[in-house]
Amino acid sequence: EPEVTQTPSHQVTQMGQEVILRCVPISNHLYFYWYRQILGQKVEFLVSFYNNEISEKSEIFDDQFSVERPDGSNFTLKIRSTKLEDSAMYFCASSERQGVDSPLHFGNGTRLTVT
């Protein structure tokens, strides 16, 4: 079964540094998402992306965050200047289309630790 893959699995960075989290969505999927989960808390929506632009974003997704699909396969999340509170699991997801009959497929996440 095709999978969403994320790299790296664990990233440690110092406060104020920029990080880029990478994702390879399932190849025929058109909608892409980033979610995050702070340890012990809920899975939170960050942003959705379709047709090379952001479709929706949450309040969490402020100016420090950006997303990009630099080529036909990768989907990236950049945090410009990391803060301690950005420490979390970041999950990428993709879906074939938008709608109830097209469930999201999640990757196994990147654990970001900001020190």
Partner 1 sequence: LAKTTQPISMDSYEGQEVNITCSHNNIATNDYITWYQQFPSQGPRFIIQGYKTKVTNEVASLFIPADRKSSTLSLPRVSLSDTAVYYCLVGPGNTPLVFGKGTRLSVIA
Q: Is 106 in the site for partner 1 (CB under 8 A)?
A: yes
The least CB distance from residue 35 to partner 1, in Å, is 8
**24 near partner 1 (CB under 8 A):** no
Contact call for residue 94 and partner 1 (CB under 8 A): no
Stretch near partner 1 under the rule CB under 8 A, chosen from 13-21, 63-71, 75-83, 95-103: 95-103
Binding status of residue 44 toward partner 1 by CB under 8 A: yes
Closest CA to 91 of 15, 17, 25: 25
For every residue of 31-52, DSSP letters joined together read EEEEEEE-TTS-EEEEEEEETT
By the rule CB under 8 A, 25 interacts with partner 1: no
User: Who contacts 93 (Cβ-Cβ below 8 Å, separation ≥6)?
Assistant: 4, 25, 32, 33, 34, 35, 104, 105, 106, 107
Residues that bind partner 1 (CB under 8 A): 4, 33, 35, 42-45, 48, 56, 58, 89, 91, 93, 98-109, 111
